[in-house]
């Protein structure tokens, strides 16, 4: 299946690249060191339409296809993976399920604000005892009159500190595993929601990662997303799209490694010659570039299939697996090519190294991606 | 106020130096396979037009001369940034033209557009840096002309222009119609298009005319300069090592810099 970028895609790529150069590159190192939430840059991203890229124009979004989204995410992550994390969660884990499963009233109430950056979203699935085994979650939702009462603790919630709207998955039905789960749109201002522990992280440090505690949180029945018991299906389908966003993030990190390393080896002189003239160095650059191109093609293909409604979970898993392992590979090589300098904060590659690692972990570890892929291939076995 | 902004498409000046080449046959910069962008100051001119429109209303029409297929992206970007419509003059030879050749065609295109209280152009193109289009256009259109404007404000049926000059800043009042060339300024930093406007730009009116159909008036035109030779300056470097103690080295360095008339 050929993946062809249209003029529009190229213009969006150029625009987001320029945005990243103006607004993100100058502050990326500082954001990482101080773990400061980039509120101003996010407001500018929202003005450009980057917070609700795939939300239909009727609901205030940009109405773009997933390929445009993925191209934009790579550009953001090339400059600041932490910033892109905030954006990608809002787009693919919050706006997307509301577009796909929300009622008309839910869409009208939440999508315009999410797309305009007036509200920020987060996705609450993981729990202390339900990580990779997400469908074992224990947060409960009990119907009392015209309200659901949610009780439980969610962990590692990206945007958890700043988010205004949480997509929360909770066990509402007397059924095991995925079939007992429903999804809820919970405003942070609803009674009974509070932020718990805020994590101190290795990378993507300008995005917050927090514990969210739902302590008898009362949610109007109108805020049930999809039907009762649909939550497991919604969570997994949402994650397929989310994983493509993370694949795009990994592409951005890998490209940053490639571009910085290629520039450095051209000017670093040892043994009387630029180290780019040494075969071992040239091979490292060639290997990064080849894996990056392969991962990008997988990611773009998955994005196109997402757009046509044909996306299989295994395709998203392959894109994320290939891209995240490419990012880690590229970061590992880049630090090595920079030698001692690469280990210091004088150059950005140590940040890329720390940022890259999360792409192999969140929205499904590499092991879970392999499990999804193998399950698809070996369905009969 | 109805404003026309003239756009030139050039090879991206941000491309690395190794991608710069001269085509010996045409004695022009090689364009094949290279990224083409709107010439830097032309984007500043468009930004000035957009800010004027936000204050006074009216329309913005962009006009560009060149091969239609290549111009699509530049014109589309201008429309995405907020221009209302575009006129493309399809002229395959235009990328090799100098200002004196393109100005009469632009003038004819602006007459075709009809409504043009104010014509804005970049103060110089990023490739040839001739700075001649604004005065030539003003002559052709019988309009007043102000060059090197950093800001343009509406005033008393005309415009008030803040002009950057060698001896400081000039504040010039110009009557309309006027042709104003724009330089860069903190106040006219080109905005980025919103992503949904990139999509919407496709729905804005874009007219294409062949240059031959415009009947450019060439009577007033200056003859275009003939380009005999174009070359990339060759830089050579030599390294002199200065010996002795640090104090002696400093003395020797200062002496040497004075000999070279660098101090």
Per-residue pLDDT reduced to its tens digit, A204-257:
999 999 999 999 999 999 999 999 999 999 999 999 999 999 999 999 999 999
Verify whether the Cβ–Cβ distance A49 to B202 is below 8 Å: no
Lowest mean pLDDT among A9-13, B82-86, B211-215: B211-215
Reported as a pLDDT band with limits 50, 70 and 90, residue A3 is: confident
Reduced to 3 DSSP states, what percent helix, strand and coil does chain A have, rounded to the nearest 5? 60, 15, 25
Q: Which CA distances in Å does A149 have to A97, A168, A186, A214, B82? A: 21, 12, 11, 9, 48
Closest residue in A to B73 (Cα–Cα) = A7
Give CB contacts under 8 A, 24+ apart, made by B187-190: B187/B51, B187/B150, B187/B151, B188/B44, B188/B47, B188/B48, B188/B51, B188/B150, B188/B151, B189/B44, B189/B47, B190/B43, B190/B44, B190/B46, B190/B47, B190/B81
Closest residue in B to A51 (Cα–Cα) = B195
The answer to whether B195 faces chain A, any CB pair under 8 Å, is yes
Q: Is A149:A190 a contact under the CB 8 Å cutoff?
A: no
Q: Which residues in A have their CB inside 8 Å of a CB on B?
A: 7-8, 10-12, 15-16, 18-19, 22, 47-50, 53, 57, 61-64, 68, 72
Closest residue in A to B201 (Cα–Cα) = A8
Closest residue in A to B77 (Cα–Cα) = A11
Residue A141, helix vs strand vs coil: strand
Verify whether the Cβ–Cβ distance A62 to B202 is below 8 Å: no
Q: Chain B: nearest CA to A12, how far in angstroms?
A: 6
- C-alpha–C-alpha distance, residues B115 and B217, integer Å: 18
So what's the pLDDT on residue B220?
A: 60
- In this predicted structure, the answer to whether residue B258 has a pLDDT above a threshold of 90 is yes
Per DSSP, helices labelled H in chain A are 7-19, 28-34, 39-48, 66-79, 81-88, 96-101, 104-116, 231-267, 279-308, 313-338, 349-359, 366-377
Mean pLDDT of B210-229: 78
So what's the pLDDT on residue B86?
A: 97
The model's pLDDT over B94-104, given as tens digits with 9 standing for 90+, comes to 998 999 999 99
The answer to whether B70 faces chain A, any CB pair under 8 Å, is no
Interface mutation vs chain A, best among B195, B196, B203, most A CBs within 10 Å: B195
pTM for the model stands at 0.89
Place of tokens 């950056």: A117
The complex's ipTM works out to 0.86
The model's pLDDT over A272-305, given as tens digits with 9 standing for 90+, comes to 999 999 999 999 999 999 999 999 999 999 999 9
Q: Are strands B3-7 and B60-66 parallel, antiparallel or unpaired?
A: parallel
Reduced to 3 DSSP states, what percent helix, strand and coil does chain B have, rounded to the nearest 5? 35, 25, 40
Residues of A recognised as catalytic: 363
Q: Chain A: nearest CA to B77, how far in angstroms?
A: 7
Verify whether the Cβ–Cβ distance A49 to B194 is below 8 Å: yes
What token pair was written down for A5?
């970028």
Q: Is A349:A261 a contact under the CB 8 Å cutoff?
A: yes
The model's pLDDT over B40-86, given as tens digits with 9 standing for 90+, comes to 999 999 999 999 999 999 999 999 999 998 888 899 999 999 999 99
Interface mutation vs chain B, best among A7, A21, A43, A75, most B CBs within 10 Å: A7
- In this predicted structure, the answer to whether residue A15 has a pLDDT above a threshold of 70 is yes
The model's pLDDT over A169-191, given as tens digits with 9 standing for 90+, comes to 999 999 999 999 999 999 999 99
So what's the pLDDT on residue B224?
A: 76
Across chain B, where does the E strand assignment appear? 3-7, 9-11, 22-23, 28-29, 36-38, 60-66, 85-90, 118-122, 144-155, 158-165, 168-175, 178-182, 206-210
Reported as a pLDDT band with limits 50, 70 and 90, residue B37 is: very high
Q: Is A20:A79 a contact under the CB 8 Å cutoff?
A: yes
Q: Percent of chain B beyond pLDDT 90?
A: 76
Strand partners, B165: B168
Verify whether the Cβ–Cβ distance B194 to A11 is below 8 Å: no
The model's pLDDT over A330-365, given as tens digits with 9 standing for 90+, comes to 999 999 999 999 999 999 999 999 999 999 999 999
Q: Chain A: nearest CA to B56, how far in angstroms?
A: 23
Verify whether the Cβ–Cβ distance B196 to A63 is below 8 Å: yes
Reported as a pLDDT band with limits 50, 70 and 90, residue B263 is: confident
- In this predicted structure, the answer to whether residue A88 has a pLDDT above a threshold of 70 is yes
**Beta-carbon pairs below 8 A across chains A and B:** 46
Verify whether the Cβ–Cβ distance A11 to B192 is below 8 Å: no
Chain B hits for A47, CB-CB cut-off 8 Å, are 194
Interface mutation vs chain A, best among B198, B201, B202, most A CBs within 10 Å: B198
The answer to whether B192 faces chain A, any CB pair under 8 Å, is yes
For helices B99-113 and B133-141, angle between their N-to-C axes, nearest 10 degrees: 40
Average per-residue pLDDT for chain B: 92
The answer to whether B194 faces chain A, any CB pair under 8 Å, is yes
DSSP character string of B91-141: -TTGGG--HHHHHHHHHHHHHHH---SEEEEESS-TTT----HHHHHHHHH
Instruction: Compare CB distances from A53 to B72, B195, B202 and report the shortest one's residue.
Output: B195
């Amino acid at each position: 299946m050929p993946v062809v970028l249209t003029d529009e895609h190229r213009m969006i790529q150029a625009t987001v690249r320029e945005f990243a150069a103006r607004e993100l590159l100058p502050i990326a190192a500082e954001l990482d060191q101080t773990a400061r939430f980039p509120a101003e840059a996010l407001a500018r991203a929202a003005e450009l339409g980057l917070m609700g890229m795939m939300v239909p124009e009727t609901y205030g979004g940009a109405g773009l296809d997933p390929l445009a989204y993925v191209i934009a995410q790579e550009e953001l992550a090339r400059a600041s993976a932490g910033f892109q994390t905030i954006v990608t969660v809002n787009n693919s884990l919050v706006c997307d399920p509301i577009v796909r499963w929300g009622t008309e009233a839910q869409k009208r109430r939440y999508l315009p604000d999410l797309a305009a950056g007036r509200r920020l979203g987060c996705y609450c699935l993981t729990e202390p005892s339900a990580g990779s085994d997400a469908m074992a979650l224990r947060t409960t939702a009990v119907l009392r009159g015209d309200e659901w009462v949610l009780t439980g603790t969610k962990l590692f919630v990206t945007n958890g500190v700043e988010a205004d709207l949480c997509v929360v998955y909770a066990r509402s039905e007397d059924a095991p595993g995925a079939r007992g789960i429903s999804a809820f749109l919970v405003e942070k201002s609803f009674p009974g929601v509070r932020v718990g522990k805020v994590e101190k992280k290795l990378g993507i440090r300008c995005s917050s990662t927090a514990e969210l505690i739902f302590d008898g949180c009362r949610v109007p029945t109108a805020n049930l997303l999809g039907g009762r018991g649909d939550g497991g299906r919604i969570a997994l389908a949402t994650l397929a799209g989310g994983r493509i966003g993370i694949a795009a993030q990994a592409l951005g990190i890998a490209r940053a490694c490639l571009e910085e390393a290629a520039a450095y080896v051209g000017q670093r002189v040892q043994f009387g010659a630029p180290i780019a003239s040494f075969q071992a160095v040239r091979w490292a650059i060639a290997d990064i570039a080849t894996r990056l191109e392969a991962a990008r093609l997988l990611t773009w293909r998955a994005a196109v299939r997402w757009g046509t409604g044909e996306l299989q979970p295994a395709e998203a898993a392959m894109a994320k697996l290939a891209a995240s392992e490419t990012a880690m590979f590229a970061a590992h090589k880049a630090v090595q090519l920079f030698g001692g300098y690469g280990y210091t904060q004088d150059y950005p590659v140590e940040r890329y190294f720390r940022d890259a690692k999360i792409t192999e972990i969140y929205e499904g570890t590499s092991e879970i991606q392999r499990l999804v892929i193998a399950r698809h291939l070996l369905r009969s076995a | 106020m109805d404003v026309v902004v003239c756009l030139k498409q050039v090879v991206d000046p941000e491309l690395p130096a190794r991608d710069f080449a001269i085509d010996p046959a045409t004695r022009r910069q090689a364009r094949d396979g290279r990224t083409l962008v709107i010439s830097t100051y032309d984007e500043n001119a468009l930004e000035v037009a957009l800010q004027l429109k936000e204050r006074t209303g009216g329309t913005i029409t962009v006009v560009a001369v060149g091969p239609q297929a290549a111009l699509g992206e530049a014109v589309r970007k201008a429309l995405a940034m907020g221009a209302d419509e575009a006129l493309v003059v399809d002229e395959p030879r235009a990328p090799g033209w100098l200002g004196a050749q393109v100005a009469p065609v632009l003038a004819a295109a602006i007459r075709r557009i009809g409504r043009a209280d104010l014509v804005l152009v970049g103060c110089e193109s990023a490739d040839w840096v001739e700075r001649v289009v604004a005065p030539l256009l003003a002559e052709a259109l019988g309009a007043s002309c102000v060059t090197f404007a950093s800001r343009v404000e509406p005033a008393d049926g005309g415009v008030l222009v803040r002009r950057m000059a060698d001896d400081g800043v000039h504040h010039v009042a110009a009557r309309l119609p006027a042709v104003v060339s724009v330089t860069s300024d903190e106040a006219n930093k080109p905005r980025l298009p919103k992503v949904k406007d990139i999509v919407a730009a496709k729905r804005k009116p874009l007219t294409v005319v062949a240059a031959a159909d415009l009947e450019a008036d060439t009577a007033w035109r200056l003859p275009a300069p003939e380009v005999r030779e174009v070359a990339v300056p060759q830089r050579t470097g030599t390294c002199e090592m200065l010996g002795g103690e640090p104090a002696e080295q400093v003395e020797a360095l200062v002496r040497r810099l004075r000999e070279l008339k660098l101090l």
